[in-house]
Amino acid sequence: MQTEFTIAQLADPEIDAANSILRNCVHCGFCTATCPTYVLLGDELDSPRGRIYMIKNVLEKAEPASAKVVKHLDRCLSCLSCMTTCPASVDYMHLIDRARARIEKTFTRPLADRLLRSLLAAVVPRPGLFRLSLIGAGLARPFKALMPGRMKGLVGMAPRKVSSASAGDRPQVFAAEGTRKKRVALMTGCAQQVLRPEINEATVRLLRRRGCEVVIAEGQGCCGALVHHLGREDEAKVQAQANIEAWEKADVEAIVINASGCGTTVKDYGWMFKDDPAWAERAAAIAAKTADVTEIMSELELGDVVPGDRPVVTYHSACSMQHGQQIKDPPKALLTEAGFEVRDPAEGHLCCGSAGTYNMLQPELAGQLLARKVENLKNTGGEVIATGNIGCLVQISGADWGGQGDNKAPPVVHTVELLDWATGGPKPPGMD
C-alpha cells in the first residue's frame, strides 16, 4: 500500500511503525474471508482491508476520525484472525491499537458511550470492585427491563452467583511437589479470579504436581489489555509496569498465564515499551518469559493420568490463543494425552463474540457471533466444552442452547480444569 506521510510525521516512532505496517498490505483481500464482522455484515468497511484504508487516511491527515470511521473501527473485535490468514504478514494488531489510541485522544464520543467505557475501565481490572459490581447487578436484575440501552445487557450478563475471593489468589508461594523443576509466577488476572476462581486453583495444583514452585507475586494486577483495547494506552502502560516490577522481584524462570487474552498482551510488553528507554529492555525480558499454561505443561509433560471414563470434549480455541499467540496444538494434545476424545467445531477460526469488552460495547454483533458459535459447537456432539480464555468461557456459558435434553447446554470449563481432574484434582464445576 502506498502511503503519503510527511518527513515530519515519520519522525514520530508510532507513525513510522504504522507506515511500515501499512506498506506491507497488498490489498489481496484474503483477510475478508476470515473476518467475523465481514462474514456477518458483508461490508468492506467492516473488513480488515477496509479498516486499514480508514486508518491510513486518519493517520495521514492527522485529523480526528469521523463518527463513521469510529463506528467501523469499534466494530473490530481484535480477534486477529486476519493476521493468521494474511499472506503478507501485515501487523494488523498494532495498527488497530494505534488507531484506537488516536481515537481516544482526538474523538469525542457520545456521553453514554464515554460513561460506559469509563465504568468498564474503572471496575473490571479491580477484582474487589468488580465483585461488588456483580453483586449489585444481581440485585438489579429484577428491574432490568426498566434500564436504558446497554445497561440492560450488562445487568443480564451478571452471574446469578458471585464466588467469594479465593485464598489462593493472595500473594504467597506454593511449594513444588517432589523435586523442584521450575520457579514460576502465576498471573491471577482480574476478571477471572472473580468470575471463576477455580481456574487459578486448578492451575496451581497442576503446576505443583509437575514440580513447579508457584509464586503469586505481590503487586501484580490487570495485564492492561482491557484499557489498552479501549485506546487508553497510558493506563495500560501503568498496569503493565506494575506487573513488570512485581515479576522482577519474584525472581522466576517463567510467567504462566491461563487466560489467553492476558497472555497475548503480556507477550507484547516488549512492543508496548519499545520506544521507552527506561522500560524497553525490562519489558522485553518479561515478555520473553511469558507462556500460556499449556505451553508450560507441554514442556513439563502431563505425568500420571488417573484411570476413568472421560467425556467427549469440544475444544473452542480462543482467538487470542490461536491467532494472538499462534498456539494451536498443545491444548488439544494435552487433553488427548489426558484421555479425552477431542473434537473441533466448524468455523473454529471465528470469534465467539466475547473479545474482552466487545460483548458489552457491541452486544448485537456479539450476540450474532455467539449464536453462530453455539450452532457449530452443538453440532460436534461434545459433552463438555473446553477453552483457554475466561471471556470465551463466560460468553459461551451464557448462551441460549435452545431447550432441554439433547439440547441442554453442556458445561463450559477451562482446559486446565480438565487436565487437573485427569491427573488427580477435583471434577470441574458444573460436571457433577
Topology of domain 7-106, per CATH? Answer: Fumarate Reductase Iron-sulfur Protein; Chain B, domain 2 (1.10.1060)
Burial class (CB in 10 A: 0-12, 13-18, 19+), 10: middle
Give the HSE-up count for residue 297: Cα atoms under 13 Å, Cβ half-sphere.
32
Distances (CA, A) of 273 to 51, 185, 234, 238, 264: 25, 21, 11, 11, 15
Residue 240 Rama label (left phi>0; alpha psi -120 to 50; beta): alpha
What's the distance, Cα to Cα, between the start and end of the chain in Å?
A: 55
Strand order in 313-316's β-sheet?
342-343, 313-316, 384-387, 412-414
As a whole number, the mean pLDDT across the chain is: 93
| The predicted structure's pLDDT at residue 141 | 73
The label of the residue with cell 507477550 reads 267
- 248-272 as b/e, with b when 16 or more CB fall inside 10 Å? eebebebbbbbbbbbbbbbbbbbbb
The 10s digit of each residue's pLDDT in 379-413 is 999 999 999 999 999 999 988 887 654 557 899 99
Q: How far is CA 353 from the centre of its chain?
A: 11
Give yes or no for a contact between 386 and 396, defined as CB atoms under 8 angstroms apart. no
Instruction: Provide, rounded to the nearest whole percent, the portion of the chain with pLDDT above 90.
Output: 87
Q: How far apart, in whole angstroms, are the C-alpha atoms of residue 222 and residue 236?
A: 9
The 10s digit of each residue's pLDDT in 221-238 is 999 999 999 999 999 999
Q: Which of 14, 231, 226 is nearest to 101 (CA)?
A: 231
The 10s digit of each residue's pLDDT in 96-108 is 999 999 999 999 9
| The predicted structure's pLDDT at residue 417 | 98
| The predicted structure's pLDDT at residue 432 | 74
The 10s digit of each residue's pLDDT in 191-219 is 999 999 999 999 999 999 999 999 999 99
- 393-411 as b/e, with b when 16 or more CB fall inside 10 Å? bbbbbbbeeeeeeeeebbb
150 confidence band (pLDDT: 50, 70, 90): confident
| The predicted structure's pLDDT at residue 146 | 64
**If you average pLDDT over residues 26-32, what whole number do you get?**
92
Question: Residue 153 pLDDT more than 90?
Answer: no
- By DSSP bridging, strand 212-216 and strand 290-292 are unpaired
- 163-177 as b/e, with b when 16 or more CB fall inside 10 Å? eeebebbeeeebebe
| The predicted structure's pLDDT at residue 163 | 85
- Whether 306-422 and 7-106 are alike in CATH topology: the answer is no
152 confidence band (pLDDT: 50, 70, 90): low
Higher per-residue confidence, 69 vs 402: 69
Higher per-residue confidence, 164 vs 71: 71
Q: Give the CATH number of domain 167-297.
A: 3.40.50
CATH class of segment(s) 306-422: alpha beta
pTM beyond cutoff 0.95? no
Question: Residue 418 pLDDT more than 80?
Answer: yes
422 confidence band (pLDDT: 50, 70, 90): very high
The 10s digit of each residue's pLDDT in 267-318 is 999 999 999 999 999 999 999 999 999 999 999 999 999 999 999 999 999 9
Give yes or no for a contact between 106 and 65, defined as CB atoms under 8 angstroms apart. yes
**If you average pLDDT over residues 134-156, what whole number do you get?**
73
Burial class (CB in 10 A: 0-12, 13-18, 19+), 322: buried
Give yes or no for a contact between 395 and 353, defined as CB atoms under 8 angstroms apart. yes
Q: Which of 413, 430, 432, 357 is nearest to 203 (CA)?
A: 413
Collapsing DSSP to helix, strand or coil, 126 comes out as coil
What residue segments make up the domains of the chain, in order of their start?
A: 7-106, 111-157, 167-297, 306-422
Question: Residue 245 pLDDT more than 90?
Answer: yes
**If you average pLDDT over residues 252-256, what whole number do you get?**
98
Q: How far apart, in whole angstroms, are the C-alpha atoms of residue 293 and residue 258?
A: 5
| The predicted structure's pLDDT at residue 162 | 86
Give yes or no for a contact between 194 and 221, defined as CB atoms under 8 angstroms apart. no
